[in-house]
Amino acid sequence: MKTQEIGQSGMVASRLALGVMRIDALDETAATRTVAAAAESGIDYFDTADIYGFNAHALHASSRVFGQAWKNAGLERDRIFIQTKFGIDFGYDEQGRGAAHGYDFSAKHLLDALDGELEALQTDYVDAVLLHRIDTLFELDEVAEAFDKLESSGKVRHFGVSNMGPWQIELLQSGLKQKLEINQLQFGLMHTQMLDAEIHFNMADDAAADRTGGILPYSRLKHMTIQAWCPFQSNTEFGPFVGNAHFPELNAELERLAAKYESTPNGIAVAWILRHPAGIQPLLGSMNPDRIRDMAAGADVELDRRDWWSLYQAAGNQLV
Amino acid sequence: MKTQEIGQSGMVASRLALGVMRIDALDETAATRTVAAAAESGIDYFDTADIYGFNAHALHASSRVFGQAWKNAGLERDRIFIQTKFGIDFGYDEQGRGAAHGYDFSAKHLLDALDGELEALQTDYVDAVLLHRIDTLFELDEVAEAFDKLESSGKVRHFGVSNMGPWQIELLQSGLKQKLEINQLQFGLMHTQMLDAEIHFNMADDAAADRTGGILPYSRLKHMTIQAWCPFQSNTEFGPFVGNAHFPELNAELERLAAKYESTPNGIAVAWILRHPAGIQPLLGSMNPDRIRDMAAGADVELDRRDWWSLYQAAGNQLV
Amino acid sequence: MKTQEIGQSGMVASRLALGVMRIDALDETAATRTVAAAAESGIDYFDTADIYGFNAHALHASSRVFGQAWKNAGLERDRIFIQTKFGIDFGYDEQGRGAAHGYDFSAKHLLDALDGELEALQTDYVDAVLLHRIDTLFELDEVAEAFDKLESSGKVRHFGVSNMGPWQIELLQSGLKQKLEINQLQFGLMHTQMLDAEIHFNMADDAAADRTGGILPYSRLKHMTIQAWCPFQSNTEFGPFVGNAHFPELNAELERLAAKYESTPNGIAVAWILRHPAGIQPLLGSMNPDRIRDMAAGADVELDRRDWWSLYQAAGNQLV
């Protein structure tokens, strides 16, 4: 699989990453098989978060399953990248219902969360940690204290954010010694707000209403890698769009291009993201080994410009 | 009452300020009682504007009533901060109906407005003046000329803006010798656009549509103090939200926390704003001495993080 | 006619420019008459684009008609400014229907497009070229290569963009030797998104939803000239607004001010744009010599502030 540098971190990682949010729904054997399939496909970057465990109804649960799985799969720690996220104050009630109580970038919350992750992940460091969602109550010196401790203790090698815009990043960066290398944002053929507002700039239509503050050009300017979460989501009640009869036009185009490029619809949907010059790293959310292999194969497809724009339109978007 | 520095101005003022927009509805005795109540509660920062006088149907009318009231209340000029705002071209017709004709940052308009305010306020200087709303027709050298004259004559000590976003401030600041220390923006439990767009960043829902251009992190980055105007407004036809039966969920939470923190719903609504690390200074708009005392007492409450987020949700907002 | 410097390019051009998009609908005689009328009115700046040819159903068609017309009209090449735009991947099918296939800032596409324009325009250089709409797939080094070649070969003297926001411009500028001098954006009495979002900043209403990312103050800050395209469009099915019975309030105000300033409704609509201190250069889209003369005469009108704001409101906008 092709590789890319993540931000300016020196980490040279696979173009695709595996997001293990749903791995807590698998038993140990299945989880090991999933992680092994990803690794065999060339994926060496794995993303988790302290709050993942929505099936097990427990914090750190996905990281715990993944922590056993990468060991079982025989992966070597220094040949893979493990990334986690923290900063959401999340909990489960007695009925097992999870909910965010808010966000929390206090040093104590961040440090405790990271320690919990290391234990669950069966490792003594993570390659990267991201602030999961902005905590508007954050004190810059608390974040700086946490990052400094995490870096100097060797527990975290690189830092980043998730779901944040330019001025928020400018503010955080102004108080941190560590460069923010990553911004994890939802992006995919059916979640293109970053593009829509660019293309419809200064128009009166809905697509022109800015929801991302210029984060796409900003990220390129600052050499931050965008990681695309839920890249296959339709953002409707109907779930992922590939092979989904509710999205006939998009799937027809995915099929056409799968044939043209000798790939699969899943592969084409991945290739569409990789084609963007921002160097976006999709996080595959599938736990299905076959689907992971299909998607990973998409990393070798280089779409023509017109096919790229044709897919954008087939997803329901208008050019102007 | 706790204090804070306003911007980087050197002014160390009470965390709460009194906004005297409605003071023109009071007679001299009542106005004096209101100002005295605020001062006794520890409030030493007072905000007005040249156009206030909506009850008296006259420009400078609120400043005129306040100008007599602070004298009557026996306040010492050098122990209080008086701030005004200018730059709206506002007038009253023969029926007493007020309306904005536009905005006007010409040097002449600004200088005349400020002189009118000094006379009305019975003082020879104001501690701060804000450009009230952007005049898109402004010439930078006219604003610079006005500010220079106001500063060198001693009529104005510090400068700021109101209702403006980052690039507008960058443009103004680029041509001014004086640092812009303040941005007055509507903010409160039922006016949280600045937060909503951060939290819903890059989502497809209405709350994600950006209305504030990142002004919250920008203000922190630039060490500008945000002053919150109309912090108790529901922004509906039903007026202020505290104790208002149209907002049962929010009031239930305000009541719960008032009991927990031995405060009042008004106090909790104030404490919610003060808890934000941006150092937001709420402008109390009430002219009712008892309510002012309730609100002022809120400056001593320090809300827990979860209570803060719980209030945000009780006001009708979603976490993601 | 009054003049202004375009960006910081050294080009001192007429306040009004002629946009020749529709000139491909004219025969050679009519086209010559139109261009001559513009020149006699003092207009020395002409804007076209490689894709214009919507009547002739052919790329470069408008530039080709204009290329003959300026020669026929006896204009001297070094006394006029010719600007074109490129970067849209546009084509016509066998039925003559034109459509954008996408956008394309590859060096090859840009260089080929510019050569096509020079041939059509009967000139060996253009004074300025603009990137027509953002190509999100652009590689910065490809744009830089194209611009360097165009500049060093003498084919293009100055560079700019169209329909782009601040961070996009920051990104492009970061990789270019040439200063971006121009941003072409739709603007006029019935297309005021840039103003609306400023005036309604931080409000909950529709007008507050940001569609322009602060491009108006950004452009002033960076000394980029905004060119206003389609300044007379109503952005409705009813077409241009001047003299259009569907817009009675706006036309009544245009008539009132035409009488007051001894101008015409078209002249007043132009004067409204010119009054803005950003130094906006309207692109007249009319091919009608009389209307062009009316509009050009508007360049001599200097509207009072209140008349300017009154027009803004008559166009259906609210002050706050």
Distance (Å, rounded) from C-alpha C185 to C-alpha C162?
A: 6
Closest of C22, C13, C17 to residue C286, by C-alpha: C22
- Partner residue facing B211 (CB), from C208, C306, C319: C208
Q: Is C108 exposed, middle or buried (0-12, 13-18, 19+ CB in 10 A)?
A: exposed
Q: Which residues of A touch B319 (CB under 8 A)?
A: 100, 102-103
Q: State how far the Cα of B6 lies from the Cα of B161, in Å rounded to an integer.
A: 13
Q: How far is B52 from chain A (nearest CA, A)?
A: 33
Distance of alpha carbon C160 from alpha carbon C163, whole angstroms: 10
pLDDT band at B89 (very low <50, low <70, confident <90, very high): very high
Question: Mind listing the pLDDT tens digit for each residue in A176-210?
Answer: 999 999 999 999 999 999 999 999 999 999 999 99
Residue type at A226 in one-letter notation: I
Please enumerate in sequence order all residues whose Cβ is within 8 A of that of B117, keeping only pairs 6 or more positions apart, or say none: B48, B50, B60, B63, B84, B86, B126
C170 touches chain A (CB under 8 A): yes
* Backbone dihedral region for residue B96 (phi beyond 0: left; psi -120 to 50: alpha; all else: beta): left
Interval A122-135 mean pLDDT? 98
Per-residue pLDDT reduced to its tens digit, A155-175:
999 999 999 999 999 999 999
**Distance (Å, rounded) from C-alpha B234 to C-alpha C309?**
29
**Best mutation target, B183, B189, B194, B201, to test chain A (most A CBs within 10 A):** B201
With CB atoms and an 8 Å threshold, state whether C217 touches B106: no
CB-CB under 8 Å, B185 with C202? yes
| B202 → closest Cβ in A137, A163, A170 | A163
Q: Which amino acid is at C199?
A: I
Q: Which residues of A touch B305 (CB under 8 A)?
A: 89, 102, 104, 106, 137
Q: What is the pLDDT of residue B94?
A: 87
What CA–CA distance (Å, rounded) separates C221 from B160? 19
Strand (E) positions, A38-77? 45-47
Mention every residue, 6+ apart, whose C-beta is less than 8 A from residue C205. Answer: none
**Closest chain A residue by Cα to residue B309:** A102
Looking only at the bridges linking them, the beta strands covering C225-229 and C180-186 are parallel
The rounded distance, in Å, linking the Cα atoms of B20 and B29 is 15
Contact B171 C218 (CB under 8 A): yes
Residue C229 makes CB contacts below 8 A (sequence gap 6+) with C19, C162, C184, C185, C186, C187, C283, C285
Q: How confident is the model at residue A139 (pLDDT cuts 50, 70, 90)?
A: very high
Answer whether B121's CB lies under 8 Å from B67's CB. yes
Instruction: State the pairing for strand pair A180-186/A156-162.
Output: parallel
State the maximum Cα–Cα separation within chain B, in Å, rounded to a whole number: 55
Q: Is C202–B209 a contact, with Cβ atoms under 8 angstroms apart?
A: no
CB contacts, 8 Å: B211 with chain C: 197, 200-204, 208-210
Please give the distance of CA A15 from its chain centroid, rounded to a whole number. 12
Q: Which of A313, A196, A279, A204 is nearest to C134 (CA)?
A: A196
The DSSP string of B171-191 is HHHHT-SS-EEEEEEE-BTTB
- How far is residue C217's CA from residue C226's CA, in Å, rounded to a whole number? 11
% of chain B residues with pLDDT over 70? 100
- Point out the residues of chain C with pLDDT beneath 50: none
pLDDT(B96) > 90: no
pLDDT score at A71: 98
Q: Is C193 on the interface with A (CB under 8 A)?
A: yes
Query: Residue A113: its pLDDT value, please?
Result: 98
> How large is the ipTM?
0.97
> Is the separation of the CB atoms in B181 and B149 below 8 Å?
no
Report which of A184, A160, A285, A281 is spatially closest to residue A230, judged by C-alpha positions. Answer: A285
pLDDT value of residue A256: 98
Substitution target from B167, B185, B192, B233 for chain C, most C beta carbons within 10 A: B167
**What is the residue whose two structure tokens read 């025989």?**
A74
Q: C175: how many CB neighbours lie within 10 A of its CB?
A: 16
Kindly indicate the confidence band of residue B143, based on its pLDDT and cuts at 50, 70 and 90.
very high
* Contact pairs from chain B to chain C, CB under 8 Å: 94
pLDDT confidence tier of residue A94, bands split at 50, 70 and 90? confident
Whether A195 has its CB under 8 Å from any CB of chain C: the answer is yes
Residue with tokens 């609509």: C269
| Dist. CA C203–CA C207, nearest whole Å | 8
Find which of C105, C106, C130, C137 to mutate to test the A interface (most A CBs within 10 Å of its CB).
C137
CA of C2 to nearest chain A CA: how many angstroms apart?
Answer: 28
Residue among A299, A240, A232, A283 at smallest CA distance from A47: A283
Q: Which chains touch C (3 or more CB pairs under 8 A)?
A: A, B
What is the least distance, in Å, from the CA of A203 to any CA of chain B? 14
Report pLDDT for C307.
98
> Which of A202, A218, A309 lies at the smallest CB-CB distance from C212?
A202
Contacts of A213 in chain B (CB under 8 A): 201, 210, 213-214
Secondary structure (3-state) at A314: helix
Contact C136 A198 (CB under 8 A): yes
Contact status of A198 with chain C (Cβ, < 8 Å): yes
- Helix spans in B107-246 (H): 107-121, 140-152, 166-174, 193-199, 215-221
What percent of chain B has a predicted confidence (pLDDT) above 90? 98
Minimal Cα distance from A207: which residue of C? C211
Q: Which residues contact C225 (CB under 8 A, 6 or more apart)?
A: C4, C5, C6, C7, C160, C181, C182, C183, C219, C279, C280, C281
Q: What is the per-residue pLDDT across A216-257, written as a single tens digit (0 to 9) for each? A: 999 999 999 999 999 999 999 999 999 999 999 999 999 999
Residue C122's alpha-carbon distances to C14, C52, C55, C73, C283, in angstroms, are 22, 16, 20, 13, 21
Which tens digit of pLDDT belongs to each residue from B271-320? Answer: 999 999 999 999 999 999 999 999 999 999 999 999 999 999 999 999 99
CB contact under 8 A, B167 and C308: no
Amino acid at position B243, single letter:
G
CB of B100 within 8 Å of any CB in chain C? yes
Report the residue of A137, A191, A201, A236 to disrupt the B interface, i.e. the one with the largest count of B CBs within 10 Å: A137
CB-based contact (8 Å) between B199 and chain A?
yes
CA distance A127 to A121: 12
Alpha carbons C41 and A203: distance in angstroms, whole number: 31
Give whole-number Cα distances, B313 to A101, B5, B228, B310, C319, in Å: 9, 30, 20, 5, 31
Write b or e for each residue in C40-70: b if 16 or more Cβ atoms lie within 10 A of its Cβ, otherwise e. ebbbbbbbbbbbbbbbbebbbbbbbbbbbbb
Q: What is the separation of C-alpha A171 from the centre of its chain, rounded to a whole number of angstroms?
A: 22
A217: nearest Cα among B166, C167, C87: C167
B152: which residues sit within 8 A by CB, 6+ positions away?
none
**Separation between Cα atoms, residue A204 and residue A183, nearest integer Å:** 29
Alpha-carbon distance C75 to nearest alpha carbon in chain A (angstroms): 34
Find the closest chain C residue to B91 by CA distance.
C306
CB-based contacts of C52: which residues, under 8 Å, 6+ apart?
C20, C21, C24, C60, C61, C62, C63
**Alpha carbon of A214: minimum distance to chain C alpha carbons (Å):** 6
| Chain B residues in contact with A167 (beta carbon < 8 A) | 166, 213-218, 221
Which residues 269-288 of chain B have a CB within 8 Å of chain A? 275-277
Answer for the pair B110, B135: CB distance below 8 angstroms, yes or no.
no
String of DSSP letters for chain C: --EEE-TTSS-EEESSEEE-GGGGGS-HHHHHHHHHHHHHTT--EEE--TT--TTTTSTTHHHHHHHHHHHHTT--GGGSEEEEEE-EEEEE-TT--EEEEEE---HHHHHHHHHHHHHHHTSS-EEEEEE-S--TT--HHHHHHHHHHHHHTTSEEEEEEES--HHHHHHHHHT-SS-EEEEEEE-BTTB-HHHHHHHTTT-SSGGGS-SSTTHHHHHHHTTPEEEEESTTB-SSTT-B-TT-TT-HHHHHHHHHHHHHTT--HHHHHHHHHHTSTTT-EEEE----HHHHHHHHHGGG----HHHHHHHHHHTT----
Q: Do C102 and A319 touch (CB under 8 A)?
A: yes
Is some CB atom of chain A closer than 8 A to the CB atom of C14?
no
Q: Which two tokens stand for residue B110?
A: 């600004």
Is B186 an 8 Å CB contact of chain C?
A: yes
Q: Domains (ranges, CATH) in chain C?
A: 3-236+280-285 (3.20.20.100)
Question: What is the mean pLDDT of the segment spanning B217-229?
Answer: 98
Neighbours of chain A (3+ CB pairs under 8 A): B, C
**């009630």: which residue's tokens?**
A93
Per DSSP bridges, beta strands B98-103 and B126-131 are unpaired
Question: Taking 90 as the threshold, does the pLDDT of residue A96 lie above it?
Answer: no
Rounded-to-integer distance, Cα B213 and Cα C210, Å: 8
Mutate to test the interface with A, among B164, B202, B203, B276 (most CBs of A within 10 A): B202
Q: Which residues of C touch B194 (CB under 8 A)?
A: 202
- Residue B185: per-residue pLDDT: 98
Q: Is the Cβ–Cβ distance between A319 and A313 less than 8 Å? A: yes
Percentage of chain C beyond pLDDT 70 is 100
Closest CA to A278 of A234, A216, A193: A216
Task: Give me the pLDDT at residue C18, please.
Answer: 98
The model's pLDDT over A283-310, given as tens digits with 9 standing for 90+, comes to 999 999 999 999 999 999 999 999 999 9
**Number of CB pairs < 8 Å for A and B?**
94
